[in-house]
Amino acid sequence: MSELFEFTVPVLVVGGGACGCIAALAAAKAGADVLLIEQDERPMGSTGMSQGLICAAGTKAQAALGIEDSAHTYFDDIMAKTKGQTDPVLARAIADHAGPTVDWMVEALDMPWDLDKGFRPAYGNSTYRVHGWHGHSGQDMVDLLHRRLDDNGVDVMTGAKLVDVHSDDEGRVLGVTIERPDGSREDVGCDTLILACGGFAANHAMVAENMPDVAIARNNGHEGSQGTGIRVGEKLGAAFGDMASYQGYAMLTEPQGLPVPPGVPVAGGILVNIEGKRFTDETADIAGMVHPVLQQPGDYVWVIYDDRIEAEVDYIPEIIELNKLNAPRFANSVEELADVLGLPHDALAATLADAHDAQARAEPDAQGRIWNQDLPPAPRFRALKVVGAIFHTQGGLQIDGQAQVLRPDGTPLPNLFAGGGAARSVSGPAHWGYLPAMGLATAVTFGRLAGEAAARLALARETA
Ligand SMILES: Cc1cc2nc3c(=O)[nH]c(=O)nc-3n(C[C@H](O)[C@H](O)[C@H](O)COP(=O)(O)OP(=O)(O)OC[C@H]3O[C@@H](n4cnc5c(N)ncnc54)[C@H](O)[C@@H]3O)c2cc1C
C-alpha cells in the first residue's frame, strides 16, 4: 500500500478544532513532524462556537487566586456527577492531566487562559475550576491556536477532508485518502493518525439511532460533526463507549441562536414556560435540563433574569452580543413582564412569589431549588426566549489514558489516537453526567496526550 502514497508524514492529525490543534502542537513540541488536515477552508469546529471554557483542576491560575483544588477532588466530582458510571481510567486521565494541560497552554503556547471567577462552582464542579480567555469567544481560541500552529511550523492543509483510511491486516493505519473541494483526491501516508474530527451531533441519522430522545432537538453544534471518527473506527475494528451520551442545552436563544451562559441561571435566573410556570431546578443539570424544556407546551420557554444578574455576566461575549441584538425584553413589574411575554399574570406572579418565599425561608422551592444567598429575579426584569438544542455528543471511540484507541478486547490499535468529540468522554452513559466545560477539557487534554504519545511512537519508528 505504501507505494500508493505520494508522501508520508510521521504524525497526521484530522481536525482543526481545539483537540486537533493541541494534538499537533504537542506532537511538534515533542519533536515530530506533523501535518494537520481540516475539511473547512476556515477552521471553526464546535470549538469555534463555544465559549472557550475549560474545566481543569490544580492549575497555577487557581493557586494564584487561593483556590484549593486537586486531581483527587476533580476525579470525585466527575464520578459523583456520572453516578459512578463513567470510565474511571478516562476520568483519572482528565482529573490528572487537564490542569497541567491548561498550565502548558499558558506557559508553552502563550495562551492567555485564566480562572473565570464569574463561573461559580455549579452543576457538579465543587469549586472554581472553569478557565477561559476573559472577554473572548471560542472562535478567538481557534484563531489563536492556528496562529500558534504557524508559529511552531506545523503544516496545515485546509479544505482537506478525510474520506477513507487504509490499514494493514493488524489494523495499523498506513495512510488516508483526502478529498479537496474540487472533488480531487490524494492519498497521504502516515506513521501515526490522530482523530480529532469532532463528534456526530450534526449527523441526524446517528443521533436518531443512538439518542432517539433528543432527535427532535435542534443541532447547535458545528455542521462538520458528522461522525468521521466513528466511521474510521468501525473500519479499523475499534471499540466505542457511551454512544448515547451528549450535552444538550436548554437555553439557546430564539431567534438569535446564541446560548444563554450558565452564569445566568446560577446567579438567580429562572426558566418559565408559556403557562407562566417553572418546571425544573435550573441549577441541577446544565446538560440534562434540555429534557424538561423539550417537554413543555409550545415551542419555547423564557429565561427570566434581572439587572442584578446581568451585572454578574455582562462580560461574557454571548451576553454582549445578545444585548447588541436587542434580544432581551425588559419590564419594571411582574404585571408588565407578563404583558411583554404574553404570559398569564396570576401564574407568573405565583411562580415568582414561590421562589422569593422559598429564598426568604431558606427552604427548597417547589422545584427543589435551594437559593442560599442568591435572589430570584426582581424588577427590573429581563427575559430571553429560548429553545432546547443538542450541542455536542459525548460518546465515541474507546481510548485509554494515553488517548490511544482500543479494540473491543481492550488491546490498542497500533498507531491510532483520538480525543475531543471523536472519543468517549467522561460524561457517563446519558445526558445527565456532563460537567460544565468538560467538552474542551477532553479536547485539549486528550489532544495533548495523543500528540505526545503519537510523537513518541513516530520518533521511535524513525530511529528503529
Ligand atoms: C455552542 C456551543 C458552546 C460550547 N461551549 C463550550 C465551552 O465553553 N466549554 C466546553 O468545554 N465545551 C463547550 N462546548 C463543547 C465544545 O465546543 C466541544 O466539546 C469541543 O469543541 C470539541 O472539540 P474538538 O476539537 O473535538 O471538535 P471540533 O472543535 O468540532 O473540531 C473538529 C474539526 O474536525 C473537522 N472535521 C470533521 N470531519 C472531518 C474530516 N472528515 N476531514 C477533515 N476534517 C474534519 C471539523 O470541520 C472541525 O473543524 C460547546 C459546544 C457548543 C456547540
Residue nearest to atom 33 of ligand 1 (CA): 15
Ligand 1: which residue has its CA nearest to atom 15?
439
Return the residue whose CA atom lies nearest to atom 18 of ligand 1. 439
Report how far ligand 1's centroid is from the alpha carbon of 196 (Å): 9
CA of 445 relative to ligand 1 center, distance in Å: 14
Q: Are residues 223 and 259 in the same domain?
A: no
Same domain, 359 and 432: no
* Claim to verify: residue 158 and residue 292 sit in the same structural domain: no
Distance 37 CA to ligand 1 centre (A): 15
- Ordered mean pLDDT values, 10 residues apiece, the chain (464 residues): 80 98 98 98 97 97 98 98 98 98 98 95 95 95 98 98 97 97 97 98 96 91 97 98 96 96 96 98 93 94 98 95 98 98 98 97 95 95 97 97 98 98 97 96 98 97 82
Pocket test for ligand 1, best of 42, 50, 200 (most atoms within 8 A of CB): 50
Which pLDDT score is estimated for 216?
Answer: 87
The DSSP line for 55-99 is E-SS-HHHHHTT----HHHHHHHHHHHTTT-S-HHHHHHHHHHHH
C-alpha 354 – ligand 1 centre gap (Å): 40
Q: Report the separation in Å between the CA atom of 443 and the middle of ligand 1, taken as the mean of its atom positions.
A: 8
Shortest CA distance to 447 belongs to which of 113, 87, 32, 25?
A: 25
End-to-end, the C-alpha distance of the chain in Å comes to: 21
Q: Whose CA is nearest to atom 37 of ligand 1?
A: 197
HSE toward the beta carbon, residue 462, CA cutoff 13 A: 15
Taking the centre of ligand 1 as the mean of its atom positions, its distance from the CA of residue 49, in whole angstroms, is 8
Vertex 199 angle, CA 237 and 194, to 5°: 55
Give CA–CA dist 423/242, Å, rounded.
Answer: 10
Residue with cell 427548597: 364
Is 70 in the same domain as 163?
A: yes
| 250/75 Cα distance (integer angstroms) | 26
Pocket test for ligand 1, best of 47, 136, 226, 425 (most atoms within 8 A of CB): 47
Q: Whose CA is nearest to atom 50 of ligand 1?
A: 50
Q: Which of 125, 440, 442, when mutated, tests ligand 1's pocket best, judged by the most ligand atoms within 8 Å of its CB?
A: 440
* Ligand 1 site, residue 129, Cβ cutoff 6 A: no
Same domain, yes or no: 306 and 163: no
Of 329, 359, 390, which one is at a domain's C-terminal end? Answer: 390
Same domain, 102 and 215: yes
Nearest Cα neighbor of 200 from 236, 232, 170, 239 is 232
Which ligand 1 atom is the nearest neighbour of the CA of 21?
25
**411 Cβ contact partners less than 8 Å away, ≥ 6 residues apart:** none
405 and 385 in a common domain: no
Q: What are phi and psi of 36, to 5 degrees?
A: -110, 130
Q: Domain check: are 436 and 370 in the same one? A: no
* Residue 144: domain span: 2-245+394-463
Per-residue pLDDT, 340: 98
Where does residue 124 fall: left (phi above 0), alpha (psi -120 to 50 degrees), or beta otherwise? left
Cα(188)–Cα(178) distance, rounded to whole angstroms?
A: 7
Count up the domains in the chain and report the number.
2
Q: Is 347 in the same domain as 311?
A: yes
User: What is the whole-number distance in angstroms between the Cα of residue 142 and the centre of ligand 1?
Assistant: 10
Spatial CB neighbours of 352, under 8 Å, sequence gap ≥ 6 = 334, 376, 377
What is the structure's pLDDT at 464?
75
Å from CA of 199 to ligand 1 middle: 7
**Cα–Cα distance between 241 and 86 in angstroms, integer?**
9
Of 347, 367, 390, the residue at which a domain comes to its end is 390
334, 364, 390 — which closes off a domain?
390
Residue 147's H or E segment, with its range, is helix 138-151
For 230, list phi and psi in degrees, rounded to 5. Answer: -65, -45
386 lies in the same domain as 417: no
User: Which CATH number goes with the domain that contains 146?
Assistant: 3.50.50.60
Question: Both 204 and 303 in a single domain?
Answer: no
pLDDT at 1: 46
Q: From 42, 41, 45, 40, select the one nearest 20 (Cα to Cα).
A: 45
List residues bridging with 54 in a β-sheet: 131
User: 370 and 290 share a domain?
Assistant: yes
Q: Ligand 1: which atom is nearest the Cα of residue 221? A: 53
The CATH number linked to 385 is 3.90.700.10
